[in-house]
Structure 1
Amino acid sequence: MLGGFTGFQDSQGKDWGENLLNSVASKTIRHLFTHSDLVDVEVRCSPPGKLLQGSIDSFKMSGRGLVIRKAFRAEELNFETDAVVLDFGSVLKGGIALKQPTQAIAQVKLAEPDINTAFEAPLIRQRLENLTDPQLLSLSDGAPVSFGNVKMELLPNNGVNLQAAARWSERAVPLALSCTLGVERRRRIRFNSLQFRDEAIPEDRRDLSGKLTGVMGDILNNMVDLDRFNLDGVTMRINRLETQGRFLVFSGYAQIEHVPRIG
């Protein structure tokens, strides 16, 4: 019976099996995100009969307005896998199970407002609040310090201007820095060539602000590690990042051990 189905094509020339896999894959991927404006999936398999053995040439996905873990929004996400070997029986049951790992090339575009919103996410806030690093305590008379009101401005050539505030007890100190974004070991975002922007700080608070800005720069450099954000069964690595107007674009690859069950 399945052999008969694989001979059926729709008006666009797509095989029944490809249509089924497209539908199941679209549903599976949408469930990885809290919200999605668009998810478009395309399966490439030639000849179509290979699909019954679980073999497809590539799997391509394009998405817009994707929200991960209720807090991290990507303006665009595109990826395309190498050849994939899957259990076609899982597709018939409405799921996708890989028989062996595969790789995908990927590109992610983040908008400046979404980056700033992400600084308010619980996963980020827990690394910026009630800090008791000895260097900070020496500047705050022993009180825990929290960094907030983080605003990042993307500039050409991977440049960034960043403003924030350090708070403890009843005190608030404004912070301002400039830097360039880079990648370390293909998984960690680095804030390189940090410079204190003293012209943005009132003169009577510049000395303390400069010291606190330096500490915050160290915190940022140890915070954005892709291994903390990987989806279940997926390891991501960055080959390149660049600022494009008010967008930050990452290009890289993903090693997929199994299809994630939750984002």
Structure 2
Amino acid sequence: MIANLSIPMESKRQGGDQLVSKVVTTAISALLRQTELLEVNVRAEPVAKLLQGSVDGFDCVGQGLLMHSGLQVDQMEFHLQALSIDFGALFRGQVQLRQPTQASMRIALTEDNLTESFNTPFLKEKLQQLSWEGQSLMFERTRISVNEDQSLRMQSWVRQGEAEQLFEIDITARVEVENRRKLKFVEVTYGGDPTAVALGQMLTEHVNQLLDLDQFALDGMQLRVDQLRLRNKQLTLYGVALIEKFPQRNRGWQP
């Protein structure tokens, strides 16, 4: 993807590394609805090598990120080593990779991030693909908690069709990574009456199909997880981002 940006003339007089950092920061910001902090640092020694499009390293650190889909991320880090870019395209306000690359990554989500994300129209619509006795299920007031024993708890009120009655679903599970790209609930326990348990089992199966990271990645990027941690009220993912081209906003994320 080509990120189209307007670069002031004074930017062209900055050092090459400053120019690259500024353009990439602006391009990444365009992928997000809101950020509390976003810092990009490009390393090149000597800086003159940027004229040939050679970059020694690239670090991106973000905090308090809100995606256009409504999904939230507390902290995000991407660290790339050597890569090749089209330096001339920067003066047109464009970010272009000359070849695919990959970055080490760390993504952290708090309980509140997870809770808010599961209550966005983006995820609620995906949950409502479930049906019970021929009627769709409406999920309300979903709450995600990270327990001291490193398990995850998911509580939600569920309405069947237009019925007034609400069923409370209460799921506690451990989270594993499958094939480096899918998050999966395992060792699941359910609370509530038999109806709530049956709905919880259906929800677990659906969530395990839903949490495929390829469905959440930006276009041009794939996320692969090597380690997952649940502690200190946070879910943290460690792994790599495979970047085929500079990412663009995923059309499926748009409200």
What TM-score, normalized by structure 1, do the two folds share?
0.84
Percent of matched pairs sharing the same residue: 28
Classify the secondary structure of the residue corresponding to 2:219: coil
**Aligned residues of 1:106 and 1:254 also touching (Cα < 8 A):** yes
The structure whose Rg is larger is 1
Aligned to 1:12: none
- Once the two structures are superposed, the pairs formed by residues 165-184 of structure 1 within 5 Å of their partners are 165-168=157-160, 169-184=163-178
Aligned to 1:7: none
* Higher percent of residues as strand: 2
Aligned to 1:255: 242
Classify the secondary structure of the residue corresponding to 2:28: helix
Cα distance, 1:81–1:130 mapped onto 2, change above 3 Å? closer
The letter for the 2-side match of 1:188 is K
C-alpha deviation, 1:70, in angstroms: 4.3
In angstroms, what is the RMSD of aligned CA positions? 1.6
Classify the secondary structure of the residue corresponding to 1:79: strand
Aligned to 1:159: 151
Classify the secondary structure of the residue corresponding to 2:247: coil
- Once the two structures are superposed, the pairs formed by residues 44-193 of structure 1 within 5 Å of their partners are 44-129=43-128, 131-132=130-131, 136-137=132-133, 142-168=134-160, 169-193=163-187
Among 173, 180, 188, the alignment partner of 1:194 is 188
Aligned to 1:30: 29
**Aligned residues of 1:116 and 1:151 also touching (Cα < 8 A):** yes
CA–CA distance in 1 between the matches of 2:89 and 2:102?
20
Residue ranges of structure 2 left out of the alignment (5+ in a row): 1-13, 251-255
Q: 1:62-82 CA deviation, whole Å, 9 max, x = no partner?
A: 111111124011111101112
Cα distance, 1:103–1:130 mapped onto 2, change above 3 Å? closer
The answer on 1:236 being equivalent to 2:228 is no
The letter for the 2-side match of 1:187 is R
Q: 1:120-179 CA deviation, whole Å, 9 max, x = no partner?
A: 2222112222633xxx32xxxx43333332111101353012211221123211111211
CA–CA distance in 2 between the matches of 1:158 and 1:181?
9
Q: 1:4-50 CA deviation, whole Å, 9 max, x = no partner?
A: xxxxxxxxxxx811111111111111111100111111111112221
**Aligned residues of 1:128 and 1:148 also touching (Cα < 8 A):** no
CA–CA distance in 2 between the matches of 1:143 and 1:53?
60
Please list every run of at least 4 consecutive aligned residues from structure 1 whose deviation after the TM superposition is greater than 4 angstroms: none
The letter for the 2-side match of 1:24 is V
